Amino acid sequence: MDEYTVLFLIILISFLPSIGYLAWVRKTERYSEEGWGPLLKAFLFGALISTFISALLEGVFLAIFSQVLQPDVGVLPKSSTFAFLVLAIVIAPIIEEGFKGVGVYSMRSNFRFVADGLVFGAAVGFGFGFVENTLYGLSAFDQYGIASAIITLLIRSVSSVLLHGSATAMTGFGVAENALHEGRGHVLAGYYFLAVLMHASFNLIASLPLILPADWTSIMGAEVLSLVSLGAAIAFAVYAFGHIRDKITELQYTALTRYPSMRPVRNR
């Protein structure tokens, strides 16, 4: 299999779940569905802007932490594992949810109902997850081959990709509340921090083998502990995605009872 075929395959396997989840979220909004044009713009913002700005800033802040703070602040552990955990649990959630949130905020003129914010937030998050998944797949292929790359992509498609869409949908809820109702900036801030907390919690669960004492590894076995951590992370992401869909349905029902004349409308 030549390198172009591998690249195409990895991109395709990364893209299909992300766009499929977006279509699923869009169909959840049974009344006044969002048009594909604006949603794809949001998806591309997450894929092409949020990912690369986040990666750049994460590299900068990780370098500051590992080269300045760790050596100079005596109470901080000086291992590379601790620096990785700080990146995964603190730096990445704050930066990534921030720049995904910028993408949602840029689409606020398309919001007619609060539920729209969740849909556009999910679109940005799934775009981010698509590109991130592609990069992880390429890394796995480079190190271990095509089989490992495909397994990595499939696992991340039911975990990280779902998490990105669900967390940013929460930010989208805050953006919509702020855009459609005056004086709701505190709601936007609150739901952004909720998105950060969701993201950090997911990364914390996925990192349990690095956090738990060595006794746990000796008792459970490294492979079993890794599988438990992975299963818990997948369950967390699936539950979050289900909550987003339930929230969209709830908000649509509220809007429908408030505006009885509302009818199913499909935007082009």
pLDDT range class, residue 216, cuts 50, 70, 90 = low
Q: Under the phi-then-psi rule, with left for phi > 0, alpha for psi from -120 to 50, and beta for the rest, what region is 87?
A: alpha
Say what the pLDDT of residue 48 is.
Answer: 96
* pLDDT averaged over every residue in the chain: 92
Residue pair 121/198 in contact by the 8 Å Cβ criterion: no
Say what the pLDDT of residue 6 is.
Answer: 95
Rounded-to-integer distance, Cα 173 and Cα 99, Å: 15
- How many residues are present in the chain? 268
Mean pLDDT of the 55-67 span: 96
How many C-beta neighbours within 10 Å does residue 33 have?
A: 17
Residue pair 97/167 in contact by the 8 Å Cβ criterion: yes
Mean pLDDT of the 224-247 span: 96
Asked whether the predicted pLDDT for residue 263 surpasses 60, the reply is: no
pLDDT range class, residue 111, cuts 50, 70, 90 = very high
Mean pLDDT of the 242-249 span: 96
- CA atoms within a 13 Å half-sphere pointing along the CA-CB vector of 194: 18
Asked whether the predicted pLDDT for residue 197 surpasses 60, the reply is: yes
Say what the pLDDT of residue 5 is.
Answer: 95
Asked whether the predicted pLDDT for residue 260 surpasses 70, the reply is: no
67: DSSP letter: I
Per-residue pLDDT of 157-171, as tens digits, reads: 999 999 999 999 999
Instruction: Output 102 or 1, whichever has higher pLDDT.
Output: 102
Say what the pLDDT of residue 217 is.
Answer: 66
Residue pair 169/237 in contact by the 8 Å Cβ criterion: no
Q: How far is CA 42 from CA 47, 70, 85, 120, 206, in A?
A: 9, 37, 30, 6, 27
How does 210-236 read in b/e, with b if 16+ C-beta sit within 10 Å?
eeeeeebeeeeeeeebeeebbeebbeb
Say what the pLDDT of residue 253 is.
Answer: 82
Domain residue spans of the chain: 3-256
